[in-house]
Structure 1
Amino acid sequence: MTRHRAGSGSSPAARPGAPATVGGPPIDPALLETVRQTVLAESGPVTDLRVATALRGSGRLLGAAGSLAAMDRISAELNGLGPLQPLALDPRVTDIFVNAPDSVWLDRGAGPERVRAGFESEAAVRALAVRLIAVGGRRLDDSSPCVDVRIAPGYRVHAVLPPISCTGTLLSIRIRRRTVFTLAEWREAGSVHPDMARVLERIMAARLSFLISGATGAGKTTLLSTLLGLCPASERLVLIEDAAELDPDHPHVLTLEARHANTEGTGVVDLAELVRQALRMTPGRVIVGECRGPEVRELLTALNTGHSGGGGTIHANSARDVPARLAALGALAGLTPQAVALQAASALDVVIHVERSAAGRRVAEIGVVAATAGGMPADGLQVVPAVSAPPPGTGEPALVRGPGWPTLAARLGIAAPPQGPASS
């Protein structure tokens, strides 16, 4: 979800499928290289003054507009995202993808859109990828061809080199926007049904433990930040993330970020260790930004030891698929499916599923986590649908109640009404 939804404006840039353009008029590559070498010949931070001085020293007469454009481009080359920097300035852009020098795409909330301009060569793409990864304290080369880092000011960069990539250097940039959406803004954007929003508010108020499921880019992290903003100010939130992306509107937030191995292969601090450390910090709620490995064992353990109201996000195709996903992650931690089912059935209360379509991101379903009588699914664990949003475009005004609604209503401490499952 974005604050300015694609397609909501009248300008071509706001319409889904309208190609974007990188930057303004083209800059002479020879001039860029000359100024770049002059600036980098001196140590110290790259400032606008140094770039302007080097530009004047080049002897090129560009005029006021041309000089400003050249300064912006060169500063972006040395400090920012290079030729991609103008794209990142659009507040609607959440992702930028480089598939080849002439294949650059962005996402403004309505799916990938191709950008008209690109890079000069494959070498230019690789040089940018290597520089961005180095800024994040990692190394991108033949011995380490796939790297993911977080760099200031809020970019998460993933790069893949050939021959792992068959088409050349691949670059994926996720942009963390500081804007945090309220639940009211989710409703106004049509991303959450009003009755579903009231159920979400009750889930947080009742301190139910939860997982938010969905595909990559569905809005799991955005929704999690929104829900954490509903927590009382008296609660102490400890957030555990592989790359810090959560930014809830809450006065008492502590963020722990995992650390990858250095060039010597040491210094790793993984999510599982951070969960253990978080439990020593008197947390009001323990939140794992994304469960995708052995840390699921520590999270389930924490939620089973009196730390209610916690949760995180998990990749899954639907709420029903979460038990199988938990079983797979539990196997990485050495847990049997039966052990995962026993832990999860008592640790988790609900699964909130978000999905993404051509119409945008939306909260599609809430299911309750319960044990099964038999051995399936996932050997004793299931997610039973409680409430589902009507499909977009159907015109249906009410939520669809599922077989899990009485259980969810009981956990929320409300009676199941004859109509409108979110009312009290």
Structure 2
Amino acid sequence: PSAGAPPPVAPPTPAPIASLSSFTGPSLTLPKELLARVVWLAEKIEPSIPEASRYKRDAQTEQAVREKYQAAVQRGLVNVPPAQERAFLEALIQEITGFGPLELLLSDDSISEIMVNGPNQTYVEKGGKISEIGVNFADSAHIERIIQKIVKPLGREVNRRRPMSDARLPDGSRVNVVIPPCAIDGASLTIRKFRKNQLTIEDLIKYGSLTPEMAKFLEACVVSKLNIIVSGGSSSGKTSLLNVLSGFIPAGERIVTIEDAAELSLKQPHVIRAEAKKPNRPGDSEVSIRDLVKNALRMRPDRIIVGEVRGGEALDMLQAMNTGHEGSLTSIHSNTPRDMVSRLETLILMSGVELPLDVIRKQIASSIDLIVQQARLRDGSRKIINITEMISITGETVTTQDVFLYEEQGEQNGQITGRFVPGGFRPRFDNRLKVHGYDFPPSMFIRPDQQARLNQPDPRERRR
């Protein structure tokens, strides 16, 4: 075909529908040939649509797209089978006013993550389970077109020189994109969706992520200005938990949040939000998390919250915790509280400041009060599996003790069964909690087996 001519339309063939049968939409019902025609027509119509209308769907824009579509039909530029005309027009509107085939998934509040591995393979996470869904893209170029729609309003570039980028959707959802040459099998993107209704501590209790006693204990720790690290693996719910814990901070305190991509949503009135800036073009300046942490210390914060530490900023965060900025919070990628300590040591060594390992460990032990370990279990559920107190240095080892932990007991009907139990030790910072009005009974920290022994009669009494 000549340049600029529409791609030929083959006889329609039904697109495969994956296992999630509850999904319906044009990207599931249109064959790839018609999707290619949708993209071609959208690119012709878009220049006549005001740029501000290309990211929102309203009646005026819909009417304009319908009129342009009818004009294309009358001129013989498109020939859509009557049975698929409605789906074609809907796909065209989504392509111009939104993010094409992704709109179906973005509008479903039950989906927490979207993973596009190429034009023929899309996965979603729903209810903690990952499943493939038959959402189609015309080809890899179609995905790259959607990627450009995502990054352009943010002033970022994605091209062969800069084939990777992080971005945000207008609703706050976090996006990572990779295109060739780094993406070997074609463009891919991953979207961590932003919840419209933020989780609350009551939600976490209802979902079985922790008990009411654990929730009250965490509230006491935040209010009492303990330095807390949320630890967990990828997609374990660290950011959501960090957001919930931040909600316990009293309203009168000045809070500075620092993130690579803004996800935290605090309700307190006195909040300054900062986001790292990556260079978009050669010669652009970069503002790193570490730069923002250093700058935050000059902003007279009562609390500093770093979304996640991944590098040398770990040292600056610990120094802030240890020099008057108590009650700070952050998260880190690690699978156990013990791994968290090792991971933190590694990140501090990446800071470029040459410190002996024993000094680093002393800094960790003196700065951090509590580790909250979050995990995504095999059945897709997310739970707080450890609330761990940092104790001290014993020899060359940072010692810790569990205040609460989750004991897995088995599996039933595909669901993991277990129980939350106290660690058997009253935390050493208990007096700090009492100063702030939280006086927990000793029974709250006694393990069930300890309680059973306490309830048994003394054999010496029986002999008498």
TM-score, length basis structure 1: 0.86
Q: For residues 271 and 366 of structure 1, what CA distance do their matches in structure 2 show? A: 27
The change in CA–CA distance for 1:330 and 1:75 in structure 2 (over 3 A counts) is: farther
Deviation at 1:418, TM superposition (A): 4.7
Say whether the 8 Å CA contact 1:388–1:402 is kept in structure 2: no
Match of 1:342 among 342, 359, 362: 362
> 1:139 Cα shift?
1.7
Change in CA separation of 1:395 and 1:120 when aligned onto 2, cut-off 3 Å: closer
1:409 deviation in Å?
Answer: 3.5
Q: Once the two structures are superposed, what CA deviation does each residue of 1:197-232 show, in whole Å capped at 9, x if it has no partner?
A: 121111112111100000111111111111111111
Using the TM superposition, give the Cα deviation of residue 72 of structure 1 relative to its aligned residue in structure 2, in angstroms.
4.2
Q: Residue 241 of structure 1 corresponds to which residue in structure 2?
A: 259
Mean CA deviation greater in 82-91 or 277-286: 277-286
Q: CA RMSD in A?
A: 2.8
Identify the match of residue 228 of structure 1 among 227, 239, 246. Answer: 246
Q: How many Å apart are 1:420 and its aligned residue?
A: 2.4
- Aligned residues between the structures: 402
Q: Which residue of 2 aligns with 1:50?
A: 64
Partner of 1:39: 46
Equivalent residues in 2 for 1:337-416, closer than 5 Å: 337-357=357-377, 358-376=379-397, 381-391=398-408, 399-402=421-424, 405-413=426-434
Matching of residue 185 in structure 1 with residue 221 in structure 2: no
Q: Does 1:90 align with 2:108?
A: yes
Q: 1:73 to 1:230 in 2, by over 3 A?
A: same
C-alpha displacement of 1:416: 7.3
Cα offsets for 1:310-363 (capped at 9, x unmatched): 111111011111111111111111243333323222221100011011151111
Structure 1 regions of 5+ residues with no counterpart?
1-16
Q: Which deviates the most, 127-136 or 391-400?
A: 391-400
CA distance in 1, matches of 2:259, 2:123: 27
Q: 2:209 corresponds to which letter in structure 1? A: S
Amino acid at match of 2:402: P
Structure 2 CA distance for aligned equivalents of residues 164 and 395 of structure 1: 41
- Residue 22 of structure 1 and its aligned partner are, at CA, apart by 5.7
Q: Output aligned runs, 1:310-349, within 5 Å.
A: 310-335=328-353, 336=355, 337-349=357-369
- List per-residue Cα deviations over 1:282-326 (Å, max 9, x = no partner): 212110011111111221121112111111111101111111111
Q: Which moved more, 1:413-422 or 1:220-229?
A: 413-422
Query: What secondary structure, in the 3-state scheme, does the structure 1 residue paired with 2:394 have?
Result: coil
- Give distance in 1, aligned partners of 2:82 and 2:250: 52
| Partner in structure 2 of residue 111 of structure 1 | 129
CA shift in 2, pair 1:160/1:193, >3 Å:
same
Secondary structure of 1:268's aligned partner: coil
Q: Secondary structure at the match of 2:352?
A: coil
Shift of 1:179: 1.4
Q: Secondary structure at the match of 1:407?
A: coil
Residues 349 and 212 of structure 1: is their aligned pair in 2 closer, same or farther, counting only changes over 3 Å?
A: same
In 1: Cα distance, 2:250 partner to 2:340 partner: 28
Query: Paired residue for 1:26?
Result: 30
Alpha-carbon distance between aligned partners in 1 of 2:252 and 2:317, rounded to the nearest angstrom? 22
Q: Counterpart of 1:248 in 2: which secondary structure?
A: coil
Tell me whether 1:208 sits opposite 2:208 in the alignment: no
Q: What TM-score results when the alignment is normalised by the length of structure 2?
A: 0.79
Residue in structure 2 matched with residue 3 of structure 1 by the alignment: none
Q: Which has the higher contact order (CA 8 A, sep 6+)?
A: 1
3-state DSSP of counterpart to 2:428: helix
State the AA in 2 paired with 1:36. E
User: Any conservation in 2 of the 1:135–1:151 contact (CA below 8 Å)?
Assistant: no
Deviation at 1:79, TM superposition (A): 4.0
Compared CA separation, residues 339 and 111, structure 1 to 2 (3 A)? farther
Residues 410 and 124 of structure 1: CA distance in aligned 2, closer, same or farther (over 3 Å): same
- Alpha-carbon distance between aligned partners in 2 of 1:408 and 1:20, rounded to the nearest angstrom: 50
Q: CA deviation at 1:118?
A: 1.9
Deviation at 1:256, TM superposition (A): 0.5
* CA shift digits 1:163-189 (9 cap, x unpaired): 423322221111112312221121112
AA matched with 1:238: V
Give the aligned partner of residue 258 of structure 1: 276
Residue 140 of structure 1 aligns with which residue?
Answer: 158
The alpha-carbon distance between structure 1 residues 20 and 290, as it changes in their structure 2 partners (threshold 3 A), is: farther
Letter in 2 for 1:74: L
1:26 partner letter: L
1:255-304 C-alpha deviation (Å, 9 max, x unpaired): 11111012124221111111122222221211001111111122112111
SS in 1 for 2:52: coil
| Contact 1:48–1:71 (8 Å) recurs in 2 | no
One-letter amino acid of the counterpart of residue 401, structure 1: G
Q: Counterpart of 1:274?
A: 292
Contact 2:210 2:420 in 1 (8 A): no
**SS at the partner of 2:92?**
helix
| 8 Å Cα contact 2:308/2:331 also seen in 1 | yes
Which amino acid letter does the alignment assign opposite residue 390 of structure 1?
E
2:362 and 2:393 in contact (8 A); partners too: no
* One-letter code aligned to 1:84: L
